[in-house]
Structure 1
């Protein structure tokens, strides 16, 4: 199977500085956000526009924070302003993509603030595109973008699966990206104060009556079948997983959580080196933690800009981030 793991999950927010503060208090190392910019008129300084983002990077995947740039082009202090540079024949397409991305993010925020982007990693993106076409999954074809990365240029190849609107599945932006370049990823900071080492789960909550239909969609997307785990269906993706849970079962997986909409991407789980140390750091940051039945801890969506963010003890084996479940706590609230 050419799809290997989760590539990234995207948290779409209204206030990027507030989101940066949130993630840093949760113990993630998040660099200054990048804002694309162009001069509004000849001779003027470049002004931000479109969509801005930043990443909490891990070795093989990442968490993305994304927002729509305000109409006045205002960027927060410390933001990285990235003037667009492209040949004249390429620039119109680049601008169209940036404006389309901003429009999609606006649609996401109109629905709710939270997790709206789910991308899977492929070892052969062209084979994935061909397989999806054969499976009659609508997608926008493989796109290629190049962006600065340290002293070099990073090439990103991706496709977006089309749902009710172009590039937008019912639960958000869903797609597939070519595996990250390990040489470039190694140049990014992946040493997080909370000990985070990688994404190990993304959870989608569906209406009870639509669980089978959503499962069938993801069976086609991922070319694999899920296993049953209590009320949920779990697609294994290497060391990570995609979990589908009906709305009636969400409280079983994440006690106290309610979906902001349905279907919706409601939670992501990150593996950490030392769960006890992470728990102490997060609580010192002012967050109340809750425990899941499998022993993970999580910050509820109500305290994390609409996204439940969970932490799991990583396995002692460095290439197996799925971790071992700990003995369930008798209460959902962490002491």
Structure 2
């Protein structure tokens, strides 16, 4: 059956201090370009200033991890010295609307940070965004429609501006802000241009990471059935059930829902900072043993699941546990649906503390 949702487009780690987050991710063995930040005049005729959100990406061939913080307009986040300012040029009559839209996005991110520092964004890859928008409406899922924004990306020919089409799901209750659900920001995004996807193949990570495989979301035990039904409507498919765990299988990726009482069995020592919440994401690596050695050499604390995966606890990773899984097959060039990592290894096993040699 064809689906309008394929795999994971990206997850987003919302942080207070971008400089601190960059240092952490580089110590974890990820390669990241300098962050970029939009610059806008608050009113017509004023100088352009950092505004909205600064972000950077850990790129893999078919998806990425986003690091993002709120900056400007009274925000507490700081723009790192090496950040690239990206002036947003619009006609004067459209400036107030754009400023309002950027402020809305920044307000949502700031609300996420008030809950906790950690993962608040989950975006799915969609080969048919317009079809997904129609299906969601028919299933009673509210959203703001399909939008297009332009963002700077690295290609073999240098930095270019890429159009990105996306939609954001609205929360199920009347008191929820537009573009937010209880656990954060969830939506769909379209595939990148071929030359942008090709450039991702040249991004090498010292820890051997090659793919984003999934995320774990923790919910109140009593709310698990309702959240499962909600994500069935989002994704257009049912979940696999394993006791207090629900697994949505995508193309080479997974979304795991776990009851709060069962989280420690999934990730030993982990506790959700709030419920519902995204508490972990999983990446595939070429050589799990080599990744573990690199992390130990840099003094990163590690846990281990019964399936043999290693993870960095949330307390050491700015609010989100980062799971590393041995890859089973590298996705083919230009493919957005190659199997990597394989199976719900985190979801199906209890954990144990890692024994250090």
Q: Residues 61 and 211 of structure 1: is their aligned pair in 2 closer, same or farther, counting only changes over 3 Å?
A: same
The alpha-carbon deviation at position 186 of structure 1 amounts to 2.1
Q: Residues 214 and 42 of structure 1: is their aligned pair in 2 closer, same or farther, counting only changes over 3 Å?
A: closer
Runs of at least 4 residues off by over 4 Å? 39-45
| Contact 1:3-1:122 within 8 A present in 2 as well | yes
TM-score (norm 2): 0.88
Q: Could you report, residue by residue, the CA deviation over 1:251-304 in whole angstroms, capped at 9, with x for unpaired residues?
A: 111011000000100000001111111111111121111011222110000111
Question: 1: distance between equivalents of 2:186 and 2:97?
Answer: 21
Root mean square deviation of aligned Cα: 2.2
Question: 2: distance between equivalents of 1:211 and 1:74?
Answer: 37
TM-score (norm 1): 0.93
**What is the match of residue 246 of structure 2?**
233
Question: 2: distance between equivalents of 1:207 and 1:39?
Answer: 43
Larger mean CA deviation between 312-321 and 212-221 belongs to 312-321
Q: Residues 216 and 299 of structure 1: is their aligned pair in 2 closer, same or farther, counting only changes over 3 Å?
A: same
The alpha-carbon deviation at position 247 of structure 1 amounts to 0.2
Q: 1:179 aligns with which of 191, 199, 202?
A: 191
Q: 1:123 aligns with which of 122, 127, 151?
A: 127
After superposition, where does 1:156-195 map in structure 2 within 5 Å?
156-163=164-171, 164-188=176-200, 190-195=203-208
**What is the match of residue 82 of structure 2?**
78
| Contact 2:18-2:79 within 8 A present in 1 as well | no
The alpha-carbon deviation at position 187 of structure 1 amounts to 2.2
**What is the match of residue 334 of structure 2?**
none
Q: 1:101 aligns with which of 96, 105, 109?
A: 105
Larger mean CA deviation between 81-90 and 233-242 belongs to 81-90
Q: Residues 216 and 140 of structure 1: is their aligned pair in 2 closer, same or farther, counting only changes over 3 Å?
A: same
| Contact 1:112-1:306 within 8 A present in 2 as well | yes
Gaps of 5+ in 2: 332-337
The alpha-carbon deviation at position 45 of structure 1 amounts to 5.6
Question: 1: distance between equivalents of 2:228 and 2:23?
Answer: 35
Q: Residues 317 and 303 of structure 1: is their aligned pair in 2 closer, same or farther, counting only changes over 3 Å?
A: closer
| Contact 1:297-1:334 within 8 A present in 2 as well | no
Q: Could you report, residue by residue, the CA deviation over 1:200-241 in whole angstroms, capped at 9, with x for unpaired residues?
A: 111100000000000000000000011123431100011000
**What is the match of residue 281 of structure 1?**
294
Instruction: Count matched residues.
Output: 334
Gaps of 5+ in 1: none
After superposition, where does 1:123-162 map in structure 2 within 5 Å?
123-149=127-153, 150=158, 152-162=160-170
Q: Residues 180 and 317 of structure 1: is their aligned pair in 2 closer, same or farther, counting only changes over 3 Å?
A: same
Question: 2: distance between equivalents of 1:74 and 1:214?
Answer: 35
The alpha-carbon deviation at position 168 of structure 1 amounts to 0.7
Q: Residues 145 and 287 of structure 1: is their aligned pair in 2 closer, same or farther, counting only changes over 3 Å?
A: same
Question: 2: distance between equivalents of 1:317 and 1:331?
Answer: 28
After superposition, where does 1:58-77 map in structure 2 within 5 Å?
58-70=60-72, 71=74, 75-77=79-81
The alpha-carbon deviation at position 169 of structure 1 amounts to 0.4
Question: 2: distance between equivalents of 1:334 and 1:213?
Answer: 38
Q: Residues 15 and 330 of structure 1: is their aligned pair in 2 closer, same or farther, counting only changes over 3 Å?
A: closer
Q: Residues 40 and 245 of structure 1: is their aligned pair in 2 closer, same or farther, counting only changes over 3 Å?
A: closer
Q: Could you report, residue by residue, the CA deviation over 1:38-77 in whole angstroms, capped at 9, with x for unpaired residues?
A: 3568887632122111110111110000101153895221
Q: Residues 240 and 113 of structure 1: is their aligned pair in 2 closer, same or farther, counting only changes over 3 Å?
A: same
**What is the match of residue 335 of structure 2?**
none
